């Protein structure tokens, strides 16, 4: 009996070293009393009802060892030791619930929010069916025809200009910029794009860079139809990659690959060289580094803010009344994304060209990036979250998880 008591005392002292203060979890005015009956795990969970839902998913993982330990404590009348152990379990559940909440705040940034169904009764359903028929059988063929005509006009002009005016670089670059703006206008027309631009149109000046929040690759198209930007963009495969390496190369766009570590140094050097040129197209960067669902704003990469240039913020806000413009590249190809836009009623958005900003004395590039993110988030009505958007690429894609 003495040996068992010694073991219990040593176990109690070990648990006492890092146990949480259980009184912090009790209602005000309450104190710890020796229980007269059975002490149940749900009695502790009732202290904080907000944790009950999160703890329910985890309680099965700790249920068996808790029951074994409670049986032992009940037989030996060691209620104090049982309370200490259950307090540790409660702390574990609290930590898990906090982790679940943080994980949820991250995934919400990259989830598309479908609109609430409105065709819920016998009166509205026929109207919805008529709308589907009109969008797919009338609007979509007309938009596809508009886009086809645009490509025919663009290619019939761009190819001769690109190859026949190589001796006159200034004229060739000017005409290529105009043609890129033209084809982007045809793309916007193929979605029945309703875009409102606020503020002065960007101009070509040395030592300035434009930064914008990022929802989809169509952000670039919408901005490009007004001004031929040289954009910093991820290298894409397929027909998009072909356009990047041919047509968009002519306006000075810079491509990179996230999987190549050496690309970071090359891109930084090209950024500095491009920003110093007086005749180069304005430089456009999406510092979030990934597409976000236009409701949140993730952390800005500091690369655009340590060039020693004037930073011109651009805020883009889409109206989801007709279609959600967010492109989830891990679930949907860009071709399917365009088809979704072309079969919707319209793409409606606002673009604000905001006041240029410079690095303040004593301000670091990271603080400068956060200040610009504040300006864009306030103007576009975005919620700031402390997440790095690149974390999205470090986890398996939904397609991969579904196949497994």
Say if residue 81 is in the same domain as residue 230: no
Q: Which helix (H) or strand (E) covers residue 211, if one does?
A: strand 208-212
* Same structural domain, 222 and 81: no
The pLDDT value recorded for residue 195 is 95
Q: Are residues 198 and 105 in the same domain?
A: no
Same domain, 200 and 341: yes
pLDDT tens column, 309-340 = 899 999 999 998 888 889 988 888 889 999 99
Q: What angle do CA 90, 91, 92 make, to 5 degrees?
A: 90
Residue 64: inside a domain, yes or no? Answer: no
Interhelix angle 169-190/140-164, rounded to 10 degrees, is 170
Where would I find the beta strands (DSSP E) of 63-199? 193-198
What lies within 8 Å, CB to CB, of 254 at 6+ separation is: 230, 231, 232, 233, 267, 270, 271, 274
- pLDDT score at 68: 55
199 and 105 share a domain?
A: no
Q: Which pair of tokens denotes residue 391?
A: 């974390």
Does residue 167 sit within a domain? no
Q: Is residue 84 part of a domain?
A: yes
Please indicate, yes or no, whether residues 342 and 219 belong to a single structural domain of this protein: yes
* Residue that terminates a domain, selected from 63, 88, 109: 109
- Same domain for 90 and 202: no
Domain total in the chain: 2
Assess if residue 37 is contained within a domain.
Answer: no
16 or 285, which is more confident?
Answer: 285
Question: What integer pLDDT is reported at residue 21 of this predicted model?
Answer: 47
Give the residue-averaged pLDDT of 111-115: 73
Query: In which domain, by residue range, is 235 found?
Result: 194-392
Q: For position 231, what pLDDT does the model report?
A: 87
CA distances from 22 to 32, 38, 61 (A): 8, 18, 22
Q: Which of 60, 94, 109 is the last residue of a domain?
A: 109
In the prediction, which pLDDT does 338 show?
93
Distance from C-alpha of 195 to C-alpha of 15, rounded to nearest angstrom: 63
362 lies in a domain? yes
Q: Give pLDDT, residue 247.
A: 81
Q: What is the mean pLDDT of residues 159-178?
A: 86
DSSP-derived secondary structure for 270-324:
HHHHHHH-SSSPPEEE-TT-S---SSEE-PPPGGGGSSS-EEEEEEEEEETTT--
């Amino acid at each position: 009996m003495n040996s068992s008591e010694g073991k219990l005392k040593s176990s109690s002292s070990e648990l006492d070293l890092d146990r949480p203060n259980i009184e912090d979890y009790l209602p005000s005015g309450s104190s710890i009393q020796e229980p007269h009956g059975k002490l149940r795990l749900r009695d502790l969970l009732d202290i904080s009802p907000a944790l009950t839902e999160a703890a329910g998913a985890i309680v099965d993982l700790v249920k068996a060892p808790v029951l074994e330990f409670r049986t032992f404590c009940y037989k030996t009348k060691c209620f104090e030791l049982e309370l200490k152990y259950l307090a540790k379990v409660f702390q574990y559940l609290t930590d898990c619930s906090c982790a679940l909440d943080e994980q949820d705040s991250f995934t919400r940034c990259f989830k598309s929010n479908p609109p609430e169904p409105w065709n819920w009764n016998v009166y509205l359903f026929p109207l919805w069916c008529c709308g589907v028929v009109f969008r797919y059988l009338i609007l979509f063929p007309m938009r596809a025809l508009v886009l086809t005509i645009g490509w025919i006009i663009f290619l019939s002009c761009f190819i001769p200009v690109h190859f026949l005016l190589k001796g006159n670089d200034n004229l060739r670059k000017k005409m290529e910029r105009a043609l890129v703006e033209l084809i982007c206008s045809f793309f916007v027309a193929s979605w029945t794009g309703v875009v409102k631009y606020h503020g002065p149109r960007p101009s070509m000046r040395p030592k300035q860079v434009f930064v914008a929040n990022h929802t989809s690759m169509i952000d670039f198209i919408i901005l490009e139809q007004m001004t031929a930007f040289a954009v910093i963009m991820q290298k894409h495969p397929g027909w998009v990659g072909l356009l990047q390496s041919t047509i968009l190369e002519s306006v000075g766009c810079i491509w990179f690959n996230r999987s190549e570590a050496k690309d970071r140094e090359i891109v930084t050097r090209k950024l500095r060289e491009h920003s110093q040129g007086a005749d180069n197209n304005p430089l456009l960067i999406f510092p979030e580094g990934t597409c976000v669902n236009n409701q949140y704003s993730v952390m800005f990469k500091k690369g655009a803010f340590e060039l020693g240039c004037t930073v011109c913020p651009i805020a883009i806000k889409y109206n989801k009344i007709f279609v959600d413009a967010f492109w989830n590249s891990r679930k949907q190809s860009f071709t399917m994304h365009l088809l979704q836009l072309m079969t919707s009623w319209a793409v409606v958005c606002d673009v604000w060209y905001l006041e240029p900003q410079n690095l303040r004395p004593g301000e670091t590039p990271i603080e400068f990036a956060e200040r610009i993110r504040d300006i864009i988030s306030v103007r576009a009505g975005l919620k700031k979250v402390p997440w790095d958007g690149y974390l999205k690429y470090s986890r398996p894609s939904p397609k991969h998880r579904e196949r497994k």
